[in-house]
Amino acid sequence: MQPIIGIIADDLTGGMETAAMLVALGVDCGFVTKPALVRHFAGSPAIVVAQKTRVVAAAEAVRKSEDATQRLLDIGVRRLFFKYCATFDSTDDGNIGPVADALLVLMRATHTGFCPSSGDLARSVFQGHLFVGEQLVSESPKRFDPLTPMTDPNLVGVLQRQSQLPVGLLPHDLVRAEPAARRAYVDHLVAQGIRHIIMDAIYPQDLAAIAALTVDWPLMTGNAPVIRHYPALWRERGWLDDPPPKRPLPAVESPGVVLAGSCAERTLEQLAVFEQTRPVHRIDIATAESVPVAVGAALDWAGKHLGDGPVSIATSAHPEQVGAAQARFGRDGAAAFAEAVLGRLAVELRQRGVRRFLVAGGETSGTVVEQLGIDRLRIGAYQGPGIARATTEEGEVVALSLKSGKLGPPDMFLPTLESMRHPEH
């Protein structure tokens, strides 16, 4: 089978969630973190390439995304989807705009769409403005994000400041209109020189309409939920065979650890719930002496508690603590310190027999997977926002759950780690 779609994800948590959604819909989906490895999945209908490109320099994000795209094109991928966060995490320097500009050229496409909406998460776009529940994103806790604070809800303006190409809007009344009217309006925008189209979406029916509009486009971009609507369309067109035999995830019996680097409100809430029954070791970046000292202290602490059940080690912090850490190290330096600590801890804990990891935070997940030397994963079926499992494909089996900082129910840590002790059927 020729691959139908290649998915370029700007972090590992989003890539894992997207792959898990497709697996749950009966679509065999490969998952790699190194573009050169897509050749192993040349016979799969879908392939996710997940890399840490959300907050790196824009030029690096473009280079990595172009490399992934070219590798996918080399194995015959028909269409490309650029996956990013429901809150459009980016700054005026990028990286959503610069990457989309580059991919449009590589895919030889005249235009593409942008659909970050997610009904599951109450993330919606109306008249081009991004809402988190009832709040504009600029009024939500997302405005305090330490790396990509969202202070402008107008996605047309946000994207235009990042992109060299003209940006337009497919408004909600057109999304809800007849298919011919939607296509005609897009044709009108393209004739006016628009190359990037922000798409309003509030309801699941809106995502279904957008999927039907864009299923034949060489390039589409957005959050994972719109992808849910593609497999049925692929089957209608005869592109997708019957679901393949399931490859259940194996059970992994070992100590379990939560490594939390996200400073999102939901992660802080999840840590508080976890701490009601299991211990949490918190590392204060603003006062930490050094990476080796912080790692050593955390390992000594973990050694005293792991025999009794799962534990968590966290650099997650409230905004005032994040501000103190950034005052000491700078914005990027504080993030790099936290990632260095948690990445090193993952390696040391694995050497001590830990093979069940739940990692909270997109950047943290990328660092942990990289430090563990993992570049291919077998993805399990989607269980809900932020809840999915995976295991390594080669060597000693390691179980992973890579969770976006903003996602998942408050009490998910313990049940997710426990589920890794049982095979997924």
Give dist(CA 292, CA 314) in Å, integer.
Answer: 16
- The answer to whether 72 touches 49, Cβ cutoff 8 Å, is yes
Give residue 425's pLDDT.
66
Domain that holds residue 14: 5-236
Interstrand relation of 46-50 and 5-9 (parallel, antiparallel or unpaired):
parallel
- Pair (57, 177) in one structural domain: yes
pLDDT in tens, 366-378: 899 999 999 999 9
200 token code pair: 């309003």
- Pair (175, 300) in one structural domain: no
Place of tokens 């029954």: 277
**Within a domain: residue 142?**
yes
Give dist(CA 77, CA 219) in Å, integer.
Answer: 11
- Pair (303, 360) in one structural domain: yes
Q: Which of 127, 263, 113 is nearest to 202 (CA)?
A: 127
The mean pLDDT value of the chain amounts to 93
pLDDT in tens, 180-218: 999 999 999 999 999 999 999 999 999 999 999 999 999
pLDDT in tens, 318-357: 888 888 888 888 888 888 889 999 999 999 999 999 999 9
For residue 1, pLDDT beyond 80: no
Tell which of 204, 236, 268 closes a domain. Answer: 236
Tell which of 192, 208, 236 closes a domain. Answer: 236
45 token code pair: 């209908």
Given pLDDT bands bounded at 50, 70 and 90, which one contains residue 386? confident
**Within a domain: residue 248?**
no
- Pair (186, 261) in one structural domain: no
Give dist(CA 316, CA 300) in Å, integer.
Answer: 20
> 190: domain CATH number?
3.40.50.10840
Mean pLDDT for 88-110 is 95
- The answer to whether 338 touches 393, Cβ cutoff 8 Å, is no
Question: How many domains does the chain divide into?
Answer: 2
